[in-house]
Amino acid sequence: MDFLPIFLNIRDRDCLVVGGGDIAARKTALLLKAGARVRIVSPTLSDGLNTHLQQGRISYDAEPFDPTRHLNGVALVIAATDDCSVNQLVSETAKRLGIPVNVVDNPALCSFIMPAILDRSPMLVAISSGGASPVLTRLLRARLETLIPEAYGRLAKYAAKFREQVKRRISSSAKRRLFWENILQGPFAELIFSGKDRDAQAYLEHVLENEVDALPQGEVYLVGAGPGNPDLLTFRAMRLMQQADVVVYDRLVSPAILDMVRRDATRIYAGKERDKHVLPQESINQLLVRLAKEGKRVLRLKGGDPFIFGRGGEEIETLSDHRIPFQVVPGITAASGVASYAGIPLTHRDYAQSCIFVTGHLKNNRIDLDWPAIARPQQTIVIYMGLLGLPLLCKKLIEHDLPASLPAAIVQQGTTYNQRVVVGTLETLPHLALEADLVPPTLIIVGEVVKLHQKLTWFEPASNIDEIE
């Protein structure tokens, strides 16, 4: 390491900033946020620093830096002038007096450097490249911002509040560590993340009073994995994927997304293909209950959104009947995700004022749908799981007065780099799809909006779009 990472307590300590520009103002804001008493030494002040001065938040010496006076009693100094000789003088004087010094954008003159800071007070994350690449440091900080929710600060505050109580209740340090690991990754943390602070405190008090040595309470996370592209996962989905003990996943969950699940989590495949169910739905429901009762954190990972043709409602009904805690994380459903990546808006002022989602499953070579409600003008029809029944679907829509020339498209593995789009009409699409040798998962889109595909296409993986009129 080029620098030792430390956190310095400067609350109610005197700190000096040499310089009066915008950079000095940014450094001053950080020092004030940490509770320091800040004095500025500079012939002039920026508007930002003037505002602090008028509010009485800083003191100000309107003069050049004097090494014989300005560092007396100072706990820390930052040089932020555009004069290299002044910055060097500040650095040399501070180092001689044993005062931590930072010279902005000049690591060679620093005894400490200012990291990029992710503030989840009282939790703080400091990121630094040792001055090698400040831009890379900021990019990493931005990425961490998306992975660490604001609620981690509240979580840390509750841990501090109950720390002594836990210490009195659990004498063994090893058991205390296990207790906190379970608490900070279990239902207590999830209640905090969900904004249920009162329930979280009641839960922690109950555990301390009654269940310190009991089996951790299990929970089920019903998570939508989206249409296949890992970039379309929600932040919450990714966090739960990293903390689950067991993942029960469907066939439509892409390998790239499954790879993002915690590495040591037990994986249970519960996929369903036509006429081939690895686990019947009722068995899946009971499996989730059993795993949760064993104290496991169970990730039920579904393609798309759990509540749109995902049977998520049935699963959480069973969980509710057995009083199993659960939470639902929506995913981008195939209709919106796949249509977007195919350049087909589901509604458009000139073409469609409504949109309907239906499932195209064949049952005994029939598809029982409310055809009059579906086959309406100026309405986009999105059909899930309709590849096998595509000829019958198109025939029925034509029989219910939709024109045979109505544009229609079928998209294979939408949003992924295996995406293929076949465009035709209600009359031609079944034959075109057969010629293209498409395989599930697919999504069918019917309506005038399909005309916009060629104009609005933006995602063209590996040049494998089949555009057929």
Does the active-site annotation cover 175? no
Q: Rounded to whole angstroms, how far apart are CA atoms 235 and 326? A: 18
- Tell me the three state secondary structure of residue 132: coil
Annotated catalytic residue: which of 245, 250, 302, 396? 250
Binding site: residue ranges?
Answer: 22-23, 43-44, 227, 303-305, 308, 333-334, 385, 414
151-210 CATH choice from 1.25.10, 1.10.155, 3.30.70, 1.10.8: 1.10.8
Does domain 219-332 fall under CATH 3.40.50.2300? My reply is no
Superfamily of domain 336-463: Tetrapyrrole methylase, C-terminal domain (3.30.950.10)
Q: How confident is the model at residue 465 (pLDDT cuts 50, 70, 90)?
A: very low
Q: Tell me the average pLDDT across 193-213.
A: 84
Q: How confident is the model at residue 275 (pLDDT cuts 50, 70, 90)?
A: low
Residue pLDDT, tens place only, 413-435:
999 999 999 999 999 999 999 99
Residue 215 exposed, middle or buried by CB count within 10 Å (0-12, 13-18, 19+): exposed
Q: How confident is the model at residue 337 (pLDDT cuts 50, 70, 90)?
A: very high
- Tell me the three state secondary structure of residue 55: coil
User: Which range (71-75, 342-346, 368-372) has the least confidence?
Assistant: 368-372
Does the active-site annotation cover 272? yes
Q: What is the predicted pLDDT for the residue at 211? A: 63
- Asked whether 8 and 18 are in contact (CB, 8 A), the reply is no
Residue pLDDT, tens place only, 252-270:
898 999 999 988 899 999 9
Q: How confident is the model at residue 186 (pLDDT cuts 50, 70, 90)?
A: confident
User: What crossing angle do the helices spanning 429-436 and 390-399 adopt, rounded to 10°?
Assistant: 170
Binding site for NAD(+): residue ranges?
Answer: 22-23, 43-44
Give me the residue label for tokens 């070579």: 365
Token representation of residue 187: 């239902």
Q: Rounded to whole angstroms, how far apart are CA atoms 353 and 335? A: 16
Q: How confident is the model at residue 133 (pLDDT cuts 50, 70, 90)?
A: confident
Annotated catalytic residue: which of 175, 272, 293, 451? 272
- Asked whether 418 and 320 are in contact (CB, 8 A), the reply is no
pTM for the model stands at 0.64
Q: What is the predicted pLDDT for the residue at 469? A: 45
Kindly list the domain boundaries of the chain, sorted by start residue: 14-114, 151-210, 219-332, 336-463
Domain boundaries 14-114, CATH class? alpha beta
